A and B are shown apart, each in its own frame.
Chain A
């Protein structure tokens, strides 16, 4: 399984263990940004544009400044003295058009909710009092809201821009048209994905404190990548990088929402620099809904060609993606579109592929990377086409899938969409899922239910997800986002180990995963390991939490760091015990003799001697109790993972509501470091995916007014409406690393919408109808059943 011992290691790797850190969280002792206060801190609130597109003038701030408790009212002119604008550019897509963006709007607002002024006060309530006193004059401009309007281009998102097209990308293999000409069957699918957003339960928040004496800044932020934030704050505020310290304490969920640069956070950093006092801002829920990045607004048209042998010969995709008013900084909203394209065709060996991606600007908040970035779009369209293809051929979609999967013997295989397929297990996952779900019996049961008048359906979705992005992903785009990590492992005189790393804990459990890896790598009991994350001052620069990278990238680095410490300890012990290091082993904190297993000393004794009595050590021996290892993955830019999901749904005939009765997942993320935590990552992702399929919708009125500002309007999955989720694994380790781990955190969200969509359409098939818009509205379901008079609006 692996070359240097990871496979045989003592046994924390692969063990389902609770996260030690959650002892604090269940006792209410978590520390999130709003739980942290600094002496003299002030509170910020933002005046936000009620208009989607308008030129504006701030007429009056005097009254606001006179409100009790108000310390300052800041506008763009104030902020710009200390914080420059930013602009999303991509070196490998030089034609990308996205104008510069500022912490506060300058002269023109381009989405509803865009901040235009900032009030800083003694309390948040008083800051809000101040907002009510600012007088602004707006001059409305035509607003671009829907993707269709953006393409039509009559109105412009940015006045004076040549079009609303931020980016157009086209690719094609040479034989696509020929494959369609020769096809025995051609199937089409159109899908519309409405905007949704991540809704981490802890809203975005920041507490920034500038020290003018030292020109240094301390920032506490609810963010997924402390080092990225540090780098950008230093850049935009023109500060020395090592004078900006970013601490991301406990983070109440991220899901991709907390990896971007937001105007509010930068305005707070500017405000503390201007005022010389700590400034705190925590988004309230309405602000979160309005200003957090949204995601996955797409209209996709796709066609699949199938030859007379039942093999998929070609896939054509035309995807239009809504970006909002800007391409989000620094990673670009277009990453979602590119990610969707890369994942098109998923698990199947399709040699001919053409794609067009158009990313359009709209007078709405930016879209950005949200859990499983782009993949759910690709998987939904691919798997809907698979079902259609099977139907066209009159065969089971399982048979059709199996005929077209990329076989193990064919890998590595680079798909024309650009995904390098390696170490995947499509057949094993599908077979396991069919057993897990009791598929054969279930099909019989569904027949019985249908005879009883119940409207039920079973839907499958195979997927490939690209995880653990390597350096080339952003590096070649010229985007300064690290895909590397450093892990520092330090043993104290009592034999306990403290670990620092640039990975970030946002609830996914990487802290626990790293502890397990290091315990095995060194040969220590897990209780002796303490992992600290989320502080730029404690760890060298590195990646943070994104792209399901923790186990695959940080974990691999941690393993290497642990092995280095182990080597130091064993060579020191060997010298002291007058033997060879090869004759010794380190197990659960004991230095033992091979092969007898006799304990010779403990690491605590060893460590104490090295720390306090180095003069007793053999001449010239200077063991290092603190070691570091840094790096990232070489080889593949992305680590593909795969799996299969299935859903059993029932449609309530009265209302058209979809009820998910059961959901199954079999997935392959390579070596599973901690199955307890991986399973829960999968389950949580599945339920987000069910939300995407059935409930979640950032709704805008036709004239650009946001209509999903509260949690009464934006529907999240709740306990009573969700099914139990069965999870199983196939483990095909990544062959390019020691541990063999790949990303797991986004796999649930990746294919759940596709499975639900296929299940709903299977349930609707006997009625001759189908749905093609996510979230699936009960109204659309009833229409598809022919149960509702009138046509769709």
Chain B
């Protein structure tokens, strides 16, 4: 009879959405699979597993990366943020509201990756042009919206962020 065990594993410790996590992971497991199936954080999605679609985007050490192209073992010691965070930063919050209001999503499968990527853009450039938005989001496929509404929503979020007085900012 064959062995029905899972793969051999390596211990890792990391911070996910502000919570410290210790776990054992298979070296061949991707970060996004670990987050989704190991931790049950299913907000990041698996769309292509070869780095093209952007549905698996997560934030590692403050930068948006492809969760399918990073091994879970590589996240040892790292700070990870996903869309599942219960206390999103002001950029993510503003984008979530704008995406909702503008109907900038349909099936929603691309949305978390899209919002995290847009948040990174707004962090760097609070008043992007439509072209800059389209450029920054070109590594994120959306098959439903045709992108127009997404660009609108990012602009709306940008305006909302800039209209918010600095003393009374959204949390984060």
Interface residues of A (CB under 8 A from B): 18-19, 22-32, 34-35, 37, 65-71, 122-123, 125-126, 198-203, 250-253, 255, 282, 284-285, 506-509, 676-677, 680-681, 683-688, 710-712, 716-722, 724-725, 748
Is there a chain A Cβ closer than 8 Å to B2's Cβ? Answer: yes
Q: Give the chain B neighbours of A18 by CB distance below 8 A.
A: 100-103
A24 to B96, CA, bound (A): 10
Residue of A nearest to B28 (CB): A125
From known contacts A202-B109, A253-B144, A719-B147, infer whether A69 and B103 are also in contact, taking CB-CB under 8 Å: no
Residues of the B chain whose Cβ atoms lie less than 8 Å from the Cβ of A23: 100
Find chain B residues with CB under 8 A from A712 CB. 50, 52
Chain B 30-49 near chain A by CB (<8 Å), digits 1 or 0: 00000011000111111111
Task: Flag if A202 contacts B100 (CB, 8 Å).
Answer: no
Alpha-carbon distance between A688 and B149 when the two chains are bound, in angstroms: 15
Whether B135 lies near A122 (C-beta < 8 A) is no
A722 and B147 contacting across the interface, CB-CB below 8 Å:
yes
Cβ–Cβ contact A711 & B53, under 8 A? yes
Q: Does A25 lie within 8 Å of B149, measured CB to CB?
A: no
Interface centre among B48, B83, B111 (most CB of A within 10 A): B48
| Contact in complex: B2, A26 (CB < 8 Å) | no
Residues of A within 8 A of B6 (CB): 69, 122-123, 126
A28 & B44 in contact (Cβ 8 Å cutoff): yes
Nearest residue (CB) in B for A251 is B107
Closest chain-B Cβ to A737's Cβ sits at a distance in Å of: 25
CB < 8 Å: which of B106, B135, B146, B150 contacts A508? B106
Nearest CB in chain B: distance from A691 CB, A: 9
Chain B residue with minimal CB distance to A202? B109
Q: How far is the CA of A126 from the CA of B84 in the complex (A)?
A: 28
B105 to chain A, nearest CB (A): 6
Counting from the closest, the 8 A-B pairs by CB-CB distance are A28-B43, A25-B108, A687-B146, A507-B107, A252-B109, A28-B83, A507-B106, A711-B52
Complex-state Cα separation, A22 to B49, whole angstroms: 25
Given A69-B5, A255-B143, A720-B138, verify A680-B103 contact (CB < 8 Å).
yes
In Å, the complex CA distance between A29 and B43 comes to 6
B145 at the interface (CB under 8 A from A): yes
List 7 interface pairs A-B (beta carbons < 8 Å), by A numbering: A28-B43, A122-B4, A123-B6, A253-B109, A676-B103, A688-B146, A722-B146
**B164 contacts the other chain (CB 8 A):** no
Majority secondary structure, A binding face? loop
In the complex, how many residues of chain B place their beta carbon closer than 8 angstroms to a beta carbon of chain A? 63
Query: A25 touching B52 by the CB < 8 A rule?
Result: no
Find the A residue at minimum CB distance from B136.
Answer: A719
Bitwise, B121-147 to A at CB < 8 A (1) or not (0) is 000000000110111011111111111
Establish whether residues A30 and B109, one from each chain, have CB atoms under 8 Å apart when the complex forms. Answer: yes
**Complex Cα gap A253–B105 (Å):** 11
Residue B112 at the chain A interface, CB threshold 8 Å? yes
Which of B82, B100, B151 has the most chain A CB atoms inside 10 A of its CB?
B100
Residue among B42, B83, B105, B140 making CB contact with A22, cutoff 8 Å: B105
For the complex, is B16 an interface residue (Cβ under 8 Å from A)?
Answer: no
Nearest-neighbor residue (CB-CB) of A727 within chain B: B148
Asked if B3 is at the interface of the complex by the 8 Å CB criterion, the answer is yes
CB distance from A514 to the nearest CB of B (A): 16
A70 touches B108 (CB 8 A): no
| Residues in B whose Cβ lies below 8 Å from that of A285 | 47-50, 53
Among B47, B96, B151, the most chain A Cβ lie within 10 Å of the Cβ of B47
B110 within 8 Å of A (CB atoms): yes
A680-B106 contact, Cβ under 8 Å, with A28-B84, A122-B5, A200-B143: yes
A721 to B142, CA, bound (A): 13
CB nearest to B2 among chain A residues = A66
B50 contacts which chain A residues (CB < 8 A)? 285, 710-712
Within 8 A of A (CB), among B42-96: 42-50, 52-53, 55, 82-84, 95-96
Nearest CB of B to A528, in Å: 20
A24 nearest CB neighbor, chain B only = B108
**A25 close to B147 (CB less than 8 A):** no
Partner of A718, one of B28, B107, B138, B145: B138
B142–A126 contact, CB under 8 A? no
Judged by a CB distance under 8 angstroms, whether B15 is at the interface is no
The complex places the Cα of A687 from the Cα of B49 at a distance, in Å, of: 24
Please tell me if the beta carbons of B143 and A719 are within 8 angstroms of each other in the complex: no
Q: CA of A125 to CA of B145 in the docked complex: distance in angstroms?
A: 33
Chain B: minimal CB distance from A549 (Å) = 17
B143 touches A68 (CB 8 A): no
How distant is the Cα of A29 from the Cα of B83 in the complex, in angstroms?
Answer: 9
User: How close is B44's CB to chain A, nearest CB, in angstroms?
Assistant: 7
Closest-CB distance, B58 to chain A (whole angstroms): 10
Q: In the complex, which residue of chain B has the Cβ closest to the Cβ of A250?
A: B108
Q: Is B156 an interface residue when CB atoms closer than 8 A count as contact?
A: no
Q: Report the bound CA distance from A647 to B160 in whole Å.
A: 32
In chain B, what residue has the closest Cβ to A16? B103
Please measure, in the bound complex, the distance between the C-alpha atom of A23 and the C-alpha atom of B102, giving whole angstroms: 12
Q: Specify which of A199, A284, A683 is in contact with B145 (CB 8 Å cutoff).
A: A683
Min CB–CB distance B117 → chain A (angstroms): 10
Docked CA distance A719–B106 (Å): 16
Query: Chain B residues with Cβ under 8 A from A126's Cβ?
Result: 6-7
Contacts of B148 in A (CB 8 A): 683, 722, 724-725
Complexed CA–CA distance, A509 and B130 (Å): 26
Verify A507–B147 contact, CB threshold 8 A.
no
B2 and A68 within 8 A (CB): yes
Q: Contact at A680–B143, with CB atoms within 8 Å? A: no
* B46: A residues at CB distance < 8 A: 34, 282
**Shortest distance between the CB of A131 and any CB in chain B (Å):** 15
- Contact of B138 with A201 in the complex, beta carbons under 8 Å: no
Residue of B nearest to A25 (CB): B108
Candidates A19, A509, A677, A687; contact of B147 at CB < 8 Å: A687
Residues of A within 8 A of B55 (CB): 201
> Using Cβ atoms and an 8 Å threshold, which residues of chain A touch B106?
253, 507-509, 680-681, 684
Instruction: Enumerate chain B residues within 8 angstroms of A251, measured Cβ to Cβ.
Output: 107
Chain B proximity of A74: nearest CB distance (Å): 15
B119 close to A (CB within 8 Å): no
